[in-house]
Amino acid sequence: MKGFAQRNPLAVTLYFLAVSGIAMFTLHPVITLLSLCGALLLFLVRNGTKEGKSHLYFLALFLLLSLLNPLISHRGETVLFVLNHNPVTLEALLYGICAGANLLSVLYWLRSFSQIMTSDKLLYVFGKFSPKLSLVLSMSIRYVSLFRQQAAKIAGAQKALGLYRENTLIDRFLGGLRIFSVLLTWALENGIITADSMAARGYGCGKRTSYAIFRFSREDALLLSVTLLLLLLTCVGMITGALDFSFYPAVSAAPCSGISVGSLVSYGILAFLPVIFEAKEAILWKYSLSKI
């Protein structure tokens, strides 16, 4: 049995493009809320409580964007209070909250995408269309983890040498600069070694061939079909203006209609589709264990 992460990379890639693309191109509060809940739930299902720091960083970013917008933008007709002769409006605050939540949802989708789509999966998806692009993407994702590991090794070596003598802000700042300098040198040297190794293996001398272990099954076709159908229904609401929403000068939305409700329900199903797949596989697994 396979969960959402084990589905065909092509279907998974198209899903993430659809769900995050809709979230990026609309600021409808319901769409934003559904996107954030779906992305956060998928991230929690996959990681549990292991990524506590990531949640704190994302929360800090959300609060910063939410509070920064009403201090910069003074549009809107509902004035909450005046700060330094500048009005702080309710509309600007709501826009900042919605924009911050929208960015947060996209970041969570991208984090899950980077965890699920490994380098071999990216090569499988983009290898036929653009081998160079797939190679760059796979190497970029690989270097993120390599940089983290190498930075930890450099920091450990710095501590062993006694360069962190005092736990002060200046000492940590200087230590961070040393780590960055060593890491940059290592990255440049490793890039040259990688290029030489690829040239020695004949990269770029002729037509490339690739081997993929992924097969397109019926469930992959079902995931792809459902994703495209839900994407189409959501886009109908966006194109017809049923999902139009405005914050300035006053909060206003398009009248509620069958198209708007259908589009919101479609995107809601789309946002929670990975969790539905994971729940189905978990139920089937427990049912299979009960039969043993």
Domain co-membership, 45 together with 114: yes
Domain co-membership, 156 together with 251: no
Domain co-membership, 113 together with 138: no
Domain co-membership, 103 together with 15: yes
Per-residue pLDDT of the chain (292 residues; tens, 9 = 90+): 467 878 888 889 999 999 999 988 888 899 999 999 999 999 988 887 777 788 888 888 888 888 888 888 878 788 878 877 778 888 888 888 998 999 999 999 988 898 888 777 877 777 766 667 767 776 777 777 788 888 888 888 877 777 665 567 777 777 778 888 888 888 888 888 877 887 787 776 766 666 667 788 888 888 899 999 999 999 998 898 888 888 888 888 888 888 989 999 999 999 998 888 888 777 777 777 777 7
DSSP state of 48: T
DSSP H or E stretch at residue 83: strand 79-83
Domain co-membership, 147 together with 234: no
Domain co-membership, 14 together with 85: yes
Domain co-membership, 153 together with 240: no
Whether 180 is covered by a domain: the verdict is yes
Number of domains in the chain: 2
Whether 72 is covered by a domain: the verdict is yes
At residue 1, the pLDDT reads 45
Whether 215 is covered by a domain: the verdict is no
Q: Please give the model's pTM, rounded to 2 decimal places.
A: 0.74
Domain co-membership, 178 together with 50: no
Whether 154 is covered by a domain: the verdict is yes
* Neighbouring-strand partners of residue 245: 253
Whether 213 is covered by a domain: the verdict is no
- Residues 228 and 209: their CA atoms lie apart, in Å, by 30
Q: Is 215 helix (H, G, I), strand (E, B) or coil?
A: coil
Domain co-membership, 168 together with 242: no
- Residues 134 and 147: their CA atoms lie apart, in Å, by 20
Domain co-membership, 163 together with 137: yes
**Domain containing 174: what range?**
131-200
Whether 8 is covered by a domain: the verdict is yes
Q: Is 140 helix (H, G, I), strand (E, B) or coil?
A: helix
Domain co-membership, 85 together with 36: yes
Measured in degrees and rounded to the nearest 5, phi and psi for residue 260 equal -65, -45
Who's near 73: CB < 8 A, 6+ residues apart?
92, 95, 96
Whether 214 is covered by a domain: the verdict is no
Domain co-membership, 90 together with 160: no
Whether 212 is covered by a domain: the verdict is no
- State the Cα torsion 27-30-36-41 to the nearest 10°: -160
